[in-house]
Structure 1
């Protein structure tokens, strides 16, 4: 009887060891499953529609990646980054805000006044180009057709214009247009309304609370607004959107992969659909 019990116990022990051995590959397979990566992307407000669509496609193709977007004026986003807000990838609506984080410019007090070095070396690119547009509400009540006409109307106090604040790129491009036409902003301030980002300016035009607004061509398209005129580079310079991975990011590899995707054909088509010009082609 004792021998029989010993044989039974030995058989149970062998079967247990075999069962454990069979389960091991399953654990290995589980370890092969990619870990979920959560990316935080800070992007200019004018990219809201296009980047949201692109992000959804990217997450569908890369199900281990979750992307959270923070859309606002580039100036506000820069301030948040400086204050330590977690950000993996930054896309601004002008070089100025990116320059302020670029360590290669830290000796240039005009471009990088705080001497910050917060970009992953070699990750900065010029991603897109946009255009500054003079948009009018439905019906174009003032029959505005050009920046030349706008300048005359503004100087004579005959038009209400929506523009961006001076600390946001669209407002800074507007200031260059004013300088081009010799417009004294303080002298016409009673005929101006201000937005903290380009979306607020666009809304003012869409709702007809102003006669016109200076926004981006992409925002005019997304809001189905009529563009009366487009500013030339001579008026305000090129409207370049730089992008870079932050060296404070805990997900630099994943952020770089998404930035590479933004330069690809599928993302470029999405940008072009709302009148951006991809610069990676």
Structure 2
């Protein structure tokens, strides 16, 4: 009897150990089973300054590769018009502006979540026809009579920066047209509809051999900070935060500086 009782007790203890071990394994597996590491999915809509088109398109593809099941869509344009669309209720997750002033339009309206962060800076350059046939060497050369120059609209960050550079040099310039974004201004030169345009260095670089860039010292007085922000009513906030993290990461910065942007 005593031996039988001991045998039963031993079997019971073994069963208890198996049960406890199973519970322990289940508990260890539960974090991944419960999805504590959130899998991103869905579309991220990014409103971004036109000058970010090439680098952000690259980062968008990288983001989709890093997070299967996601898609990044972009609306590139003048920062002022993008800001107006956001405050007007256009659905978007992220806003990347070419100046703090245009970002303030969104933050002042209460449409940004948290504090915008500056992620890059950009500097102006004169874009001329390939080979620089007019031998442009300075900002002053753009004021020559009969010379066709294009600027961004004064409300657009690249236009505001150009005006600041002109004021710093004490020059007055009457362009043949004001364009709504930097890409439109550059296109005028590429199509030989203008002799030169004042745009960003990044856009000159992106255009390759279609234009030639000319540095001018006054551009140092008109460097633009680029802020990025998660939007208050972002339809896909988790994925939007992850995209912003990519932009600000070492890898994201490498893509941006490779495109000609300056570090913040």
Q: Please tell me the TM-score bracket, short chain as reference.
A: 0.7 to 0.9
Inter-partner Cα distance in structure 2 for 1:61 and 1:92: 24
For residues 62-110 of structure 1, the C-alpha deviation after alignment (integer angstroms, 9 at most, x for no partner) is 01221111101101101110110001100001111111222xxxxxxxx
Counterpart for residue 99 of structure 1:
104
Counterpart for residue 229 of structure 2:
244
SS at structure 2 position matched to 1:157: coil
Matched, 1:198 2:191: no
User: Residues 231 and 80 from structure 1, CA distance in 2 versus in 1: closer, same or farther, beyond 3 angstroms?
Assistant: farther
For residues 148-179 of structure 1, the C-alpha deviation after alignment (integer angstroms, 9 at most, x for no partner) is 333xxx1x424111111122111111111222
Inter-partner Cα distance in structure 2 for 1:99 and 1:44: 14
**TM-score, length basis structure 2:** 0.80
Instruction: State the Cα distance separating 1:142 from its structure 2 match.
Output: 1.3
Which structure 2 residues correspond to residues 14-53 of structure 1 after superposition, within 5 A? 34=39, 36-53=41-58
Is there any run of 5+ residues in structure 1 with no aligned partner, and where? 1-28, 103-114
Instruction: State the Cα distance separating 1:231 from its structure 2 match.
Output: 4.7
Matched, 1:121 2:126: no
SS at structure 1 position matched to 2:114: coil
Inter-partner Cα distance in structure 2 for 1:96 and 1:45: 16
User: Residues 170 and 35 from structure 1, CA distance in 2 versus in 1: closer, same or farther, beyond 3 angstroms?
Assistant: closer
Task: Kindly indicate whether the alpha-carbon contact (under 8 Å) linking 2:100 and 2:225 is maintained by their aligned counterparts in 1.
Answer: yes
For residues 5-43 of structure 1, the C-alpha deviation after alignment (integer angstroms, 9 at most, x for no partner) is xxxxxxxxxxxxxxxxxxxxxxxx999694632110000
Is there any run of 5+ residues in structure 2 with no aligned partner, and where? 1-31
Task: Indicate the larger mover: 30-39 or 216-225.
Answer: 30-39
**TM-score, length basis structure 1:** 0.75
Matched, 1:130 2:106: no
Paired residue total: 229
Task: Kindly indicate whether the alpha-carbon contact (under 8 Å) linking 1:132 and 1:231 is maintained by their aligned counterparts in 2.
Answer: no
Counterpart for residue 272 of structure 1:
257
SS at structure 1 position matched to 2:51: helix
CA-based RMSD of the aligned residues comes to 2.1
SS at structure 2 position matched to 1:194: strand
Inter-partner Cα distance in structure 1 for 2:111 and 2:40: 26
Inter-partner Cα distance in structure 2 for 1:90 and 1:50: 15
Task: Kindly indicate whether the alpha-carbon contact (under 8 Å) linking 1:164 and 1:197 is maintained by their aligned counterparts in 2.
Answer: yes
